[in-house]
Amino acid sequence: MEYFLNDEEKALKEKVRKVAEEIILPARDELDRNAEFPKSIIQKMAEEGLLRIFIPKEYGGTGARIMDMAIACEEVARVCAGVATAYAVGALGSGPIIYFASEEQKRRYLPKIASGELLCAFGLTEAQAGSDVANIQTTARREGDYYILNGVKQFISNGSIADVYVVLASTDKSRGARGISAFIVEKGMPGFEFGKHENKLGIRTSTTTELVFSDCRVPKENLMGKEGMGFIYTMRNFDRARPGVGAIGLGIAQGAYEQVLKFAAAKNLLGNQYIQRKIADMATEIEAARALIYASARSIDSGIKNTTKPASFSKLFPSDIAMKVTLEAIEIMGPYGLLREYNIEKMLRDAKITQIYEGTNQIQRGQIALEIIREAGYRKE
Amino acid sequence: MELSKEAILLQNEIRKFAREVIAQKVDEFDKQGVFPEEDLKKISELGIFGACIPETYGGFTLDTISLLVCIEEISRVSPSIALVLIAHNILFSFPISKFGSEEQKKKYLIRASTGETIGGYAEFATNELKIQEEDDCYIISGRNEILLNGVANGPFVIFFENKDGFDVLIIDDSVNGVIRNRKENIIGMHSGGITEVVFENTRIRKQNRIGGGGAGKIIMEEVKSLANLGFSALNLGICEGSMENAIKYARERVQFGEPIINFGMVREMIAEMIIKIEAMRLLIYDAGISRDTNKDFLRTAAIARYFSNQSVAEITTNAIQVYGGYGYMKDYPVERYFRDAQVSRVLCSSNVENKEFILQKTI
């Protein structure tokens, strides 16, 4: 379909596709098998300037447009959603710095994140704070010129690999969500270690790790924005990052669909109307997902005030489509679909995470519903 | 729909065995890809390896419902072991019991009934197997990605299509020129003993053909229909295992100050699981009872398979969803059920085939 991408967007799409096919494709199977972080690939992507798209122009980036992120994430995930996750964390981790950090903090970190010299990550989730973000137990206690962090972050993408972490911790437990603050923590700060590495169903090349803070001393200059604003920063950051997750789902669906089409042709199934029906439905749903992501991205980029609904739309639907298309793909390919060498079973394993991370699809539905109720002027109770 | 007293007794016995014995190492075996020989030996002591074999050859021909109940109960804990039982009983022993020659029955069923040998199964699509005739032998060449129970090194049957239609051969465990390689590249059923199988000009005696003279299609249809029920019971067990875990987790996991089972969107996912499991069970038992009372069960079996294939995909996906991030980690069983479900829902017949079969039987 014609989406009237501008010249830069078209060039970006082509460039990412080239990198994905030439560099990621030959490596993806082994990366998944060994659950090994794609360090050299991310480095190569940085050299190609692909990490710059997450960063504003003033800090060495190309504009931090959601549309660019959507285009790039789809193309990477079309080949490997594990690499796409490792890549997209660059946006999730840099987002809070871009929008809420001080000028000095921005100057210190963003140009190096743009160039790939520093990798970033976002440390929010804890054992008891999954969907219930505000329930984080990690604390930050002010002591002279430092904040002392204690607690354990769980399921942190790019944990142990990244150099810079935006970490959420409570500076005032009595205030609940309004007592949460955001800090920039660097790898190597005393008292900051890495715990368990998770063994996952899919996106196995993306590293998922615990961050362990034991009396970790963080200079007070590394507080981001104001104390107590961490929860709000987090929600706004999610609004900007979620279209990227949707785009990863979209990329998986697109990759799976192409694989199925190739398979059906090779097995002479294309004359079968049962198969034609499935392929037609897949293509339609994928196109609908893409149109929704692009529309959401364009409206967020246009500067609309309330971004929650488009962000949740663009995560919810494409991730559900990723799951639907990959499950259907296995059905069409039958026993072949179960085998690694046919490149579908990995896409199915990868697809499942897109319904979960950066807010489960139930959380997305809840947010959409609440926005609708609020906009319509009704009340929940 | 109520089970007979005997079936309920058997169900309780197998359930207890699955939970007390099989459950102990099921996750460890899955992670390491271990074929659970000890568990299978204990299962053979319960007699289940002779479930599709007449008494004359050491078996006891369990009624369909009881066999399905056994598969379901074992699958709830270990889908891999349930798959081993389907391959051995339904795909290997049953065609020999029903359509085999006296010689074949004596040679294969007696040792199969005790579990001394575990029988296997592979199915070749059109043109995947080259077959020539020479004197009293077929000479076959070809490769198949999935030989069920290949690890057990027992005899197995192959189903294939040739110019005269479907055909079935028994491949003796002593035959030369059969290569079995452990299959590590499959998404699930890692304890199921799946190998690939390669024939290179392998000589199979003509007397190892089952049926013959155009009987292949009838054998195929009967075996596939019973297999449809077996795989439906496998799907059902996976769904029940997934749901039990999801409910347990949802009751324990506290978010926003209360167990997540209190939240409507979680409740809805679990309610849908309950509905589909109940509907699936009714279809499966209905087809099983039809078969046990000598009524036509082929159409209902295909409907049960179709519906359970759809449901197992949905339920295992949503069981992970209930767990959230935890469900995506290999530390919890829902991850394993999800992978095993993919194997369970595509082997032996696809849902496109099932739909077509249901339609043909109906119109």
B224 band by pLDDT with thresholds 50, 70 and 90: very high
Sheet holding B120-123, edge to edge: B120-123, B156-162, B165-171
Return residues 108-127 of A near B (CB < 8 Å): 125
Name the class of domain A231-375: mainly alpha
For B109-126, what is the mean pLDDT?
94
- Please, are residues B348 and B233 in contact by the beta-carbon 8 Å criterion? no
- Please, are residues A338 and B188 in contact by the beta-carbon 8 Å criterion? yes
Residues with Cβ within 8 Å of residue A138, at least 6 apart in sequence? A126, A149, A150, A151, A152, A153, A167, A168, A169, A170, A213
- Please, are residues A129 and A180 in contact by the beta-carbon 8 Å criterion? no
pLDDT tens figures, A118-137 = 999 999 999 999 999 999 99
Q: Is the pLDDT of residue B212 over 80?
A: no
pLDDT at residue B170 in the model: 97
Domain boundaries, chain A: 7-115, 120-228, 231-375
Active site residues of A: 358
Return residues 180-209 of B near A (CB < 8 Å): 183, 185-188
Contacts of B235 in chain A (CB under 8 A): none
CATH architecture of A7-115: Orthogonal Bundle (1.10)
What residue of B is the nearest CA neighbor of A359?
B324
For the domain covering B120-208, report its CATH number: 2.40.110.10
User: What distance in Å separates the CA atoms of residue B318 and residue A360, rounded to the nearest whole number?
Assistant: 12
Contact A361 B321 (CB under 8 A): yes
Rg (CA), chain A: 21
pLDDT at residue A104 in the model: 98
User: pLDDT averaged over chain A?
Assistant: 97
Point out which residues pair with B351 in neighbouring strands.
Answer: none
- For residue A264, the one-letter residue type is A
Contacts of A199 in chain B (CB under 8 A): 329-331
Cross-chain CB nearest to B346 (options A334, A349, A355): A334
- What is the distance in angstroms between the CA of the first residue and the CA of the last residue of chain A? 43
pLDDT at residue B162 in the model: 76
The boundaries of every CATH 1.20.140.10 domain in chain B are 216-362
The pair phi, psi for residue A211, each rounded to 5°, is: -105, 125
Using alpha carbons, list the distances in angstroms from residue A289 to A243, A255, A295, A316, A317.
11, 14, 10, 10, 6
List the one residue out of B310, B329, B324, B316 whose CA is nearest residue B263.
B324
Q: Give start and end residues of each alpha helix (H) in chain B.
A: 5-17, 23-32, 37-45, 64-77, 79-85, 94-99, 102-104, 110-113, 216-252, 264-292, 298-323, 333-344, 351-362
Contacts of A381 in chain B (CB under 8 A): none
Residues with Cβ within 8 Å of residue B80, at least 6 apart in sequence? B26, B29, B30, B36, B189, B190, B191, B192, B193, B340
User: What distance in Å separates the CA atoms of residue A317 and residue A285, rounded to the nearest whole number?
Assistant: 9
Q: Which of A338, A345, A380 to mutate to test the interface with B (most CBs of B within 10 A)?
A: A338
Looking from the CA of A152 toward its CB, the CA atoms found within 13 Å total 9
* CA angle B290–B357–B92, rounded 5-degree value: 65
User: What distance in Å separates the CA atoms of residue A236 and residue A229, rounded to the nearest whole number?
Assistant: 11
Residue A277, both tokens: 């029906």
User: What distance in Å separates the CA atoms of residue B159 and residue B141, rounded to the nearest whole number?
Assistant: 14
**How near does any CA of chain A get to the CA of B204, in Å?**
26
For A237-253, what is the mean pLDDT?
97
Residue A205, both tokens: 């090349």
User: What distance in Å separates the CA atoms of residue B327 and residue A200, rounded to the nearest whole number?
Assistant: 9
Q: Is the pLDDT of residue B161 over 90?
A: no
A268 band by pLDDT with thresholds 50, 70 and 90: very high
Q: What is the DSSP letter of B345?
A: T
User: What distance in Å separates the CA atoms of residue B207 and residue B137, rounded to the nearest whole number?
Assistant: 8
- Please, are residues B84 and B193 in contact by the beta-carbon 8 Å criterion? yes
A120-228, what's its fold?
Answer: Butyryl-CoA Dehydrogenase, subunit A; domain 2 (2.40.110)
Rg (CA), chain B: 20
CATH 1.10.540.10 correct for B5-113:
yes
Is B179's Cβ below 8 Å from some Cβ in A?
A: no
Q: Is the pLDDT of residue A18 over 80?
A: yes
User: What distance in Å separates the CA atoms of residue B16 and residue B206, rounded to the nearest whole number?
Assistant: 44
Contacts of B327 in chain A (CB under 8 A): 356
**How near does any CA of chain B get to the CA of A286, in Å?**
20
Residues with Cβ within 8 Å of residue B210, at least 6 apart in sequence? B95, B96, B99, B100, B104, B157, B168, B169, B170, B219
pLDDT tens figures, B31-57 = 999 999 999 999 999 989 999 999 999
Return residues 7-66 of A near B (CB < 8 Å): none
User: pLDDT averaged over chain B?
Assistant: 95
Is B246's Cβ below 8 Å from some Cβ in A?
A: no
Q: Is the pLDDT of residue B213 over 90?
A: no
Point out which residues pair with B141 in neighbouring strands.
Answer: B130
Q: Which CATH number fits domain B216-362: 1.20.140.10, 3.20.20.70, 3.40.50.1240, 1.10.10.60?
A: 1.20.140.10
Cross-chain CB nearest to B320 (options A154, A275, A352): A352
Q: Is the pLDDT of residue B164 over 80?
A: no
Contact A345 B347 (CB under 8 A): no
What residue of A is the nearest CA neighbor of B195?
A339
Query: In which element (H, E) is residue B205 found?
Result: strand B195-205
What residue of A is the nearest CA neighbor of B347?
A335
**How near does any CA of chain B get to the CA of A30, in Å?**
12
Query: In which element (H, E) is residue B162 found?
Result: strand B156-162
Looking from the CA of A181 toward its CB, the CA atoms found within 13 Å total 25
pLDDT at residue B2 in the model: 81
The boundaries of every CATH 1.10.540.10 domain in chain B are 5-113
Predicted model pTM:
0.97
For chains A and B, count residue pairs whose Cβ atoms are closer than 8 Å.
105
- Read out DSSP for A291-310? HHHHHHHHHHHTT-S--HHH
Contact B342 A338 (CB under 8 A): yes
**How near does any CA of chain A get to the CA of B147, in Å?**
11
B61 band by pLDDT with thresholds 50, 70 and 90: confident
Per CATH, A120-228 and A231-375 having the same topology is answered: no
What residue of A is the nearest CA neighbor of B320?
A352
Contact B255 A135 (CB under 8 A): yes
Can you tell me whether residue A223 is helix, strand or coil? strand
Contact A338 B346 (CB under 8 A): yes
